[in-house]
Amino acid sequence: MKNSLTSQQRDFARLVRKAIYANPFTRKRHLANCALTGLAPSTDPDSALDRAIEQVQAMVRRLEREGKTTLPPKNHEERQNVVDILLFDLFHHYPPRLDSHITEQARTGKSLELTCGPSLYTSLARHGFTRKERCRYIGLFFQMRRAFFFIRNSLVGDAPCMEELRARLWNMVFTHDIAIYEQHLLGRLEDFSTLLLGETGTGKGVAAAAIGRSGFIPYNEQTNRFAVSFSQAFVAINLCQFPESLLESELFGHTRGAFTGAVADHQGIFARASRHGAVFLDEIGEINEQIQVKLLRILQERTFTPVGSHVSSRFAGRLIAATNRNLGALMKEGSFRQDFYFRIATVPVTLPPLRQRIRENQEELSQLVRFLVKKIAGREAEEELTELIEHQLCRQGGQQYAWPGNVRELEQAVRRIILNGTWQPEKREEKKDGIEQIATLNAPPTMAELAALYCRALLKEHRTIQAVARLTGLDRRTVKKYIDRTDA
């Protein structure tokens, strides 16, 4: 072929390809940039990336002088090499403008015009990309930048467990290899449900939003807009927020007259969801078996039926769920279906508790405080308030404190210090377990007294009779009878 790449240029293209498709939150990506630039692995990652961008830009200028930046015909052995070099170069021209669009788009539910869209579209056309390819790559560029933006900016911290978390969340969006995703799964990850696990306050909702707002959304060059706004493509519901009698309607909708008070048709969350987005179900461990069965149907058949209707509707989005409960224990006791668990947990992702993060990295608390100050009071107050808050946390042993409420508790501590200038760690009341309570009795308890003590201890921790019934395997009336006993 005329103007074929030299062997040196082909080798360079192969290195570029490794850098393009490596997870940006892993060391593999950094090593790929180092291999591309010839820099030592000890080089600062940002410096290595900047150098890689410079070298690819220099290669593009060289190829332009040699007349090699027009794409060869499809299926030609050189085409992919040229594509990789051009895409790397073009993508890294646009991050600031894409970030600006993400920030602006997050403030509104409407899909805004992409100001850099025409320029990027024209650049792709100049190199010989087809119309379909141009729209596809603009959509992919925006998706990659969105995922990086939300994962990096909302899940801060340099502890190894957080670095691993960010890498895993990226894989939830693009798989472990973006080349596979781009060729075979672009916009087709709806069948890959995600289960987020972790203690209360670890940021499961933030992680869910990072995934749910990062799906592929098609670009229309005629309107210079994406099909939907990513800010509307992610919808969330806390399953504990609604009583059981209303939860089914909130999830699947209902028809007029389906039950007393149903004066009009109502769209549930699955009907309102976008096919380019995701539904987030928080507290998935709290729902009854009937709802589990209906959710299982959505996962397996992608259909659901509103309450009072016989007409099935289709759900084309992605499902993300979260819980702080031990689902393994719930499955053993029979209150959480195994088939539902294995269908919803394509890859379970556990968010680390704050005490682990601080144990792995002593600067973690400081980084989080700075992040929270900017979130609460803005960048202008960052330096002054961060110093004040860190001083107070240090005085009260914040580095050694267990932070049982995790990042959510830390955020409240930051607010208290801003308001009052001080903060005291929560003094958690030690619970007396069943054995300690029994030890205070004057005589050995009967089985009925023992059951009553046990049920009361569970009620204190789990708050509802239904939860106690589920944990003990007793029916609700029996549990209530034991709790109401006056002789225990």
CA distances from residue 180 to 22, 71, 91, 183, 318 in whole angstroms, order as listed: 12, 21, 19, 5, 19
Beta pairing partners, 196:
322, 349
Q: Give the residue among 397, 487, 483 at the shortest CA–CA distance from 442.
A: 487
Cβ–Cβ under 8 Å, residues 407 and 201: yes
Name every residue whose Cβ is closer than 8 Å to that of residue 411 and which is 6 or more positions away in sequence: 372, 376
Distance CA 24, CA 151 (A): 11
C-alpha 337/C-alpha 329 separation (Å) is 11
- State how far the Cα of 373 lies from the Cα of 126, in Å rounded to an integer: 46
How far is 56 from 12, CA to CA, in rounded Å? 9
- State how far the Cα of 242 lies from the Cα of 332, in Å rounded to an integer: 26
φ and ψ at 459, to 5 degrees?
A: -65, -40
Residue 148 CA to residue 166 CA, distance in Å, equals 9
pLDDT in tens, the chain (488 residues): 456 899 999 999 999 999 999 999 999 999 999 999 999 999 999 999 999 999 999 999 999 999 999 999 988 889 999 999 999 999 999 999 999 999 999 998 889 999 999 999 999 999 999 999 999 999 999 999 999 999 999 999 999 999 999 999 999 999 999 999 999 999 889 889 999 999 999 999 999 999 999 999 999 999 999 999 999 999 999 999 998 889 999 999 999 988 888 889 999 999 999 999 999 999 999 999 999 999 999 999 999 999 999 999 999 999 999 999 999 999 998 999 999 999 999 889 999 999 999 999 999 999 999 999 999 998 888 888 999 999 999 999 999 999 999 999 999 999 999 999 999 887 765 444 454 555 555 566 788 888 888 888 888 777 778 778 878 888 888 888 888 876 65
All structural domains of the chain with their residue ranges = 155-352, 356-420, 434-483
pLDDT of 235? 95
Contact assessment for residue 89 and residue 60, using Cβ atoms and an 8 Å cutoff? yes
- Report how far residue 422's alpha carbon sits from residue 120's, in angstroms, rounded to the nearest whole number: 52
Residue 443: the pLDDT is: 60
Closest CA to 94 of 39, 148, 151: 148
- Class of 155-352 in CATH: alpha beta
Q: Is 445 helix (H, G, I), strand (E, B) or coil?
A: coil
Q: Are 437 and 445 in contact (CB under 8 A)?
A: no
Contacts of 70 (CB under 8 A, 6+ apart): 127, 128
Q: Are 471 and 447 in contact (CB under 8 A)?
A: no
Cα 29 from Cα 23, distance rounded (Å): 6
SS3 at position 303: strand
- With a CB cutoff of 8 Å and minimum separation 6, the contacts of 364 are 157, 158, 159, 162, 354, 357, 358
Complete DSSP assignment for 363-410: THHHHHHHHHHHHHH-GGGHHHHHHHHHHHHHHTTTTT---TTHHHHH
Q: What share of the chain is helix, strand, coil (3-state, %, to 5)?
A: 55, 5, 35
68-77 b/e with 16+ CB inside 10 Å = b?
bbebbeeeee
Alpha carbon distance 370, 455 (integer Å): 44
